[in-house]
Chains A and B, each alone.
Chain A
């Protein structure tokens, strides 16, 4: 069983790194980029009986700081 967790800063929380990337893309001439948000992807190798509820608990307790970050989970069979 595998799971992929996407962690992103919540909308409305300033993402200075994403903003720096947007600025760099603009400077390189990629004018079609209006905004960049940068997050992280965490891949988990899990025991066969692991459930999405287990991964949710991991996200709530450690993988995401829900004060500033949102997360989404893809269970990958």
Chain B
């Protein structure tokens, strides 16, 4: 499994994401935001957390216009796999690869702590390592994690079983407790919590590791 992790000015979870992919057995390359193409043969792209371009204007808005993001969008449109975590989720919504947008947390405060997430569906390559209904502990660290989409979009996400994770105790006001969603073809995952920060025993928990283990399993499956 060949993974690429995009690095923007302001990314701060790029190495964590790369290590999580590596520990799951992926061959990882880092890709600079000014590059206009992904490395040959990349199976999955990781869009990391952080504060791309300082989050000026809106979170992820300027990153979404970068040369590499067009390559990521093309990759997703071709049916490629991608995961966007935190700022990466914001970027994927800004590109339109995933629906909705992330607003300022309802309580206005930056929140940094481990929260309980319920796995809403096991029907995706990212979540097949869990059972639907499992509750896992994964860190969040965000100021703008309040997922919003209009009622029709939320209904479509729910009808199509595209909510990947829900907050057990909604920390930020997200509609329908949504913490992560899947694309229509179920090959792109965007989530505000950080599974890469719960992927190693040294992190204090390994509940996020199954996301990456399941991805690496694609190699043998394909």
Contact = CB atoms under 8 A, between A and B. Distances in A.
Nearest to B100: A67
Contacts of B94: 65
B65 interface: yes
Contacts of A16: 103-108, 146, 173
Interface of A: 9, 13-14, 16-17, 20, 61-63, 65, 67-68
Interface in B99-119: 99-101, 103-108
Given A65-B58, A68-B101, A68-B148, A14 B65 contact: no
A67 B101 contact: yes
Contact of A13 (B57, B105, B108, B148): B148
Identify whether the interface residues of B are mostly helix, strand, loop, or mixed: loop
Interface of B: 57-58, 61-62, 65, 93-94, 99-101, 103-108, 146, 148-150, 173
B108 A14 contact: no
Contacts of A63: 57
29 contacts: A9-B103, A13-B103, A13-B148, A14-B146, A14-B148, A16-B103, A16-B106, A16-B108, A16-B146, A16-B173, A17-B108, A20-B108, A61-B65, A62-B57, A62-B61, A62-B65, A63-B57, A65-B58, A65-B61, A65-B101, A67-B99, A67-B100, A67-B101, A67-B148, A67-B149, A67-B150, A68-B101, A68-B103, A68-B148
B24 to A, nearest CB: 32
Contacts, number: 39
Nearest to B109: A16
Contacts of B99: 67
Task: Name which of B94, B101, B103 has the most chain A CB atoms within 10 A of its CB.
Answer: B103
The 5 closest A-B pairs by CB, nearest first: A67-B101, A68-B101, A16-B108, A16-B104, A16-B106
Given A13-B103, A14-B148, A65-B61, 19 more contacts: A9-B103, A13-B148, A14-B103, A14-B146, A14-B173, A16-B103, A16-B104, A16-B105, A16-B106, A16-B108, A16-B146, A17-B104, A17-B108, A62-B57, A62-B65, A65-B94, A65-B101, A67-B100, A67-B101
